Amino acid sequence: MRNKKRFGALLLAGAMALGMCMNTTVFAEKVPTVGNQEGTEQQPASAGITKRFEMAEGLDVPAATFKFTVEKAHGNDGPEASISNITYQAEENKGQVQNGKYVIEKTSAITFGNFPHAGEYVYTVKEKDESATNPSITYSEEQYTLRVRVANGANNTSLYIKDITAERDRSNGTETNKVAKISFTNTYRKNVSLKITKTTTGTLADKTKKFNFKITFEKSETEDTLANFQGTITRKGSAETETVTCQSGSATFTLADGDVLKFENLPAGTKYKVTEVEGEKDGYTPHVTVTDNGIRGKVINGTDGTDLSSSQNGNYAGENSNIVEFENKYVENPATGIIMNNLPFILLIGVAVLAFGTLAFVKKRRTSGR
Reported as a single tens digit per residue, the pLDDT across 342-351 is 556 556 666 6
Say whether pLDDT at 22 is over 50: no
Is 27 part of a structural domain of the chain? Answer: no
What are the residue ranges of helices labelled H in the chain?
Answer: 2-23, 343-369
Q: Are residues 213 and 295 located together in one domain of the fold?
A: yes
Per the prediction, the chain carries an average pLDDT of 87
Neighbouring CB atoms inside 10 A of 288's CB total 22
Does residue 186 or residue 157 have the better pLDDT?
186
Q: pLDDT by residue (tens digit) across 301-322?
A: 999 999 999 998 999 999 999 9
Is 20 part of a structural domain of the chain? Answer: no
302: CATH: 2.60.40.1140
Model pLDDT, residue 28: 40
Q: Are residues 168 and 239 located together in one domain of the fold?
A: no
Give the Cα separation of 349 and 355 in Å (integer): 10
Q: Are residues 179 and 219 located together in one domain of the fold?
A: no
Is 12 part of a structural domain of the chain? Answer: no
Q: Are residues 279 and 323 located together in one domain of the fold?
A: yes
Q: Are residues 122 and 224 located together in one domain of the fold?
A: no
Domain range for 130: 34-188
Model pLDDT, residue 37: 76
- Total domains, the chain: 2
Q: Which of 138, 155, 188 is at the close of a domain? A: 188
Model pLDDT, residue 27: 36
Q: Are residues 183 and 41 located together in one domain of the fold?
A: yes
Q: Are residues 167 and 287 located together in one domain of the fold?
A: no
Q: Are residues 39 and 182 located together in one domain of the fold?
A: yes
* pTM exceeds 0.85: no
Q: How confident is the model at residue 7 (pLDDT cuts 50, 70, 90)?
A: very low
Q: Are residues 284 and 272 located together in one domain of the fold?
A: yes
Count the helix, strand and coil residues of the chain and give each as a percent rounded to the nearest 5: 15, 40, 45
Q: How confident is the model at residue 174 (pLDDT cuts 50, 70, 90)?
A: low
Say whether pLDDT at 328 is over 50: yes
Q: Are residues 151 and 223 located together in one domain of the fold?
A: no
Report the relative pairing of strands 182-188 and 47-56 from DSSP bridges.
parallel
Q: What is the mean pLDDT of residues 83-107?
A: 96
Say whether pLDDT at 53 is over 80: yes
Report the relative pairing of strands 300-301 and 284-292 from DSSP bridges.
antiparallel
Q: pLDDT by residue (tens digit) across 142-170?
A: 999 999 999 999 988 899 999 999 999 75
Is 133 part of a structural domain of the chain? Answer: yes
Q: Are residues 309 and 261 located together in one domain of the fold?
A: yes
* Cα angle value 183/267/310 (rounded, 5°): 125
Q: What is the mean pLDDT of residues 259-273?
A: 97
Give the Cα separation of 66 and 106 in Å (integer): 11
Model pLDDT, residue 43: 94
Phi and psi (nearest 5°) for 92?
-70, 170
Say whether pLDDT at 46 is over 50: yes
User: For 19-28, 93-102, 230-239, which range has the lowest pLDDT when averaged over its residues?
Assistant: 19-28
Q: Are residues 118 and 222 located together in one domain of the fold?
A: no
